[in-house]
Amino acid sequence: MSRTSPLLSKLLPPLICGTATFNNQYNPDPYAIPTTAIVHEALALGVRAFDTSPYYGPAEDLLGAALDTPFVHQNFPRQDYFLLTKVGRISGNEFDYSASWTRHSIQRSLERLHTDYLDVVYCHDVEFVSPEEVLTVVTELRRIRAETRVIKYVGISGYPVTTLCELAEMILEKTGEPLDIVMSYANFTLQNTRLATVALPRLKAAGVDVVPNASVLGMGLLRRKGVPIGAQGDFHPSPEKLRAAIQAASDWSDAQDIKDKRIEKVAIRWAFENWMREGASVGSRGDPASGIPWTREKIEKYGGTKLGVSVMGVSNTEELHETMRVWRSILDGLEGGEKTAIDSGRGANDHAWSLKRQKEVQALATGIRRVLGEWVDYAWPSPPPGFINKRSAPAVPAPLPTPAASPDPQSKKALNKESSVYRSMPAI
């Protein structure tokens, strides 16, 4: 098997819209979130990549429903946006890394997302299973890629950066082909930068092409009001002493004589801005959502600036607009950013403002990390002590219920209605 050409780093947008928030971990009722409005507005603002997972409850269904609309069909051809999903994780304590479940999960994702191919498929939360199981799934995903072309790029995702490095190195050694992409979450934040300090050199040496940084708020830890409480209650794995340290850091930031000093605002900009630079060597040249019209053909022919890839998560359109404002301000502050600001219609003053804000955020970040003290670069154990995989005998039930959350009656009808895409898809 050979690596997909062109490399993912030549095409993938450096800003990805995540859909973990389309779930009852982060929100009491994911069906009450304006998911269609979020997806449509994101596309209108230039976002061209969406990350999801079967583990995120109804997220795949909700994302697929938003994309399967006249607005998207008429304005955004499928080849103009990227879909990234995952296999392997079924629930909090249930994982299936068998080849048969992998094939089933891919087919189900294709149907839910109303597409005939997936741009990226990750093995989800690889630290919960054995290296042999991860190798089984990577091998199966690559077989599907080669034989059916319903997958383009293959990667792994998880929390402990050392585990991600070890698996990337093992896969390269065992197969001779490096992973296309390795996603880490909550490991390049104001509180924890181990993705850069520990993982980056090893992942590059293992030939990994792209390393996205997800969950820049540490799964909601870096917020003034604390971790999010959804329908599943307090799911966050952070210890109470870390939460107390974050609260102290938030209080310190609030006391500073600087505008927009809330810890979450500082954390989002600091992570986006710094990973855009530090992660550039494992970043991508795709559409940066700067507000300037862009085409994939232009990227392939001429090449864009390589930027570190980040995943954002929002629960409403107001959060989306604020995140996009921050992202574009960061772009305005890059080398050549004054021209970006002018060409996008924002104006030359935005470049100067971005540089000023960059200094403010850096000063606040330095103070926040000083308050955090010994908790800087702390990583909670994953899996937790005593974890046991509930699924001991892999099986593919038929018919299969949605794993993590029950959809509403309308969504159930959509699930049970076999789509034309699904019927015409090659057997995998």
* 3-class SS of residue 397: coil
The Cα angle at residue 181 between residues 390 and 104, in degrees rounded to 5: 40
Of 356, 406, 388, 375, residue with least CA distance to 94: 388
Output the six-digit token pair for 393.
């005998």
Helix count (H) and strand count (E) of the chain?
Answer: 16, 10
CA–CA distance, 137 with 115 (Å, rounded to integer): 22
Is the distance from CB of 153 to CB of 118 less than 8 angstroms?
A: no
Query: Is 56 labeled as catalytic in the residue annotation?
Result: yes
Cα gap 97→165, rounded to integer Å: 19
Choose, from 26, 55, 56, 97, the residue flagged as catalytic.
Answer: 56
Exposure b/e, 302-334, CB count within 10 A at least 16 = b:
eebbbbbbbbbbbbbeeebeebbebbbbbbbbb
Neighbours of 407 (CB within 10 A): 18
Which residues are known to be catalytic? 56
